[in-house]
Structure 1
Amino acid sequence: IFISHKLEEIFQLADVITVFRNGKKVAYSEIKDVDSNWVIKQMTGRELDQNERFYSTKVSDEVLLEVNNLTGEKFTNVSFKLKKGEILGFSGLVGAGRSEVMQAIFGYLPVYEGSVKLDGADGKLGDTNYSVKNGFIYLPEERKKQGILPVLSIRDNISVSVLDNLKSGISISRKKENELAKNVIETYDVKTPGADKEIQFLSGGNQQKVIIGRAMACKPKLLVFDEPTKGIDVGTKTEIYRLMKKLAEEEGIGIIMISSEMEEIKKCSNRVIAMYEGKIAGEFDEYTEQQAILGAIIGVNS
């Protein structure tokens, strides 16, 4: 029995397929008799346009993040720029240094050399509090280990990053907490019976929506999505893509998306930076063929 959200794996390996939706078996077929569109419809209950693109159409000329010659433990001499309203994809194999670069810029990992400018001002490296206060939020890949407080409620998981804004005198206002949680649940369409539910019992997609809502409560200028759809079904993936596009276009937020899925990178990115063994191996625009990006991330010079 092979369980996966990744349809290409299912079609490569499976003889028969069973589809579940909302805890119920909704379809069964021999794999040779169906295609990916059929599976997606069974999973989501609706048709999805597989050719839909989600890159931002409102990229500013204004540079939001400028990274110069950054070197750390698992990356060397990394330089790039991110513009306001842009979705910048970072592609590469696991271990290529993608996440480590972003964690170093955020202040979680050490930097040996190089500099960072955020919104025109010199960044303070090695200080995550400084990053958050200046509008830089990092959404980690390991959502269950690093992104949520599993035994706490949805409300507590949302309010934890903005406690200063929820004060009433010397204590936290439960009314303000409830209003914030309600707003996030409604705005990001979180499927839950209420804000008191422990976040660990939500699906991966709904946990991710809560994390995004919490990040937005901090009024960010820049969001780093590290493997944003890991463990998320194809229908909810599309919701996350649309949400990233909306944040970039309507809020002017600069977004960096780290992903191992080439289809995801191509669907969402205005530009793609490919990394190989800790170094930038190439930079590509939205029109670049997938083969060229793949060649860069495996170290093949085309």
Structure 2
Amino acid sequence: MADEHDEAVDTLTLRFTGEDENGVAIHELRAAHVAEVLQGVVGLASDFDKAGAFSTEGPSGAEVLVRPAKEGSFLIEVVRVLSENWETAVTAGAAAGVPSLSSVIWWATRSARADVKDFDYLENGNVKVTWQDDTSQEVPSAAWDELQKRTRRRKKQLRQIMAPLSDPKVTSLEVATPTSSDDDDIAQDDAPEVFVLTRPDYNAVKPEDDIEESQEIFEVEAKMSAIDFDDPTKWRVKTKDRSRSASVEDQDFLGKVAKGLAIRKNDIFRLRIREDVTKKNGRTRTVWTVLKVESYRRAAGDDES
């Protein structure tokens, strides 16, 4: 690490506790889970740094490092190093209440588990946030703005940080900002110095499917054919520009088919169709339902039955 006069540091410890099947305290974690923890911390720190939450001068150019683990439980010590213009950032930050990385994790976790009841912009530049349980906290305005953005990515970052909690042997994660001379330059705020996250916190940041649904009803001329004679509600509808499987809900029409209505492949039908479109995680699914067969006619040149 560089000389202390060249850097300001914000130290964060993540202590995972639990017991194995024999009741012995854990002292190791899955490597894949540890990798996710670090990815989540780096992603979270980067987003809030870019938003100017850690410095009134804008992005601080901080780098996130990891220190060697110490004895007891499974301890990860993360150091966020401000290597550029640190004196300006620290002096201005202390006056403005610049948060620690631990505070950011606390606020992000809290916002994932509880809705905001009310908020007020204060004269000191902070935002007073009141949660559903009527508790309140002051959050720097830049951090507040970032908390309201990228909610899906934020949940992913928090879930990465808490990834070891998916292991039944791991029961809790203690997040702390150690009080030492290295941390004197990091401003204090009203977030707890130490807080514990458990499996309900992990479950609360389970990624939600990104679902967008839309519906449209339209009329169109098309050709139709049954594709499953054991199920007369399954049809193939072919318009001028597309062809799609469809379900037919017109009971009068289905009754005629059941009684032997002859349908030729070139017959033209006037259909009222409901199109349901579901976009989920970037993939689109379209479903057609024939609500009504308005009319139909033989194609030109076909003999009448």
TM range (shorter): under 0.3
User: Which of the two has greater helix per residue?
Assistant: 1
TM-score (normalizing by structure 2): 0.21
User: Which of the two has greater strand per residue?
Assistant: 2
- Bigger radius of gyration among the two: 2
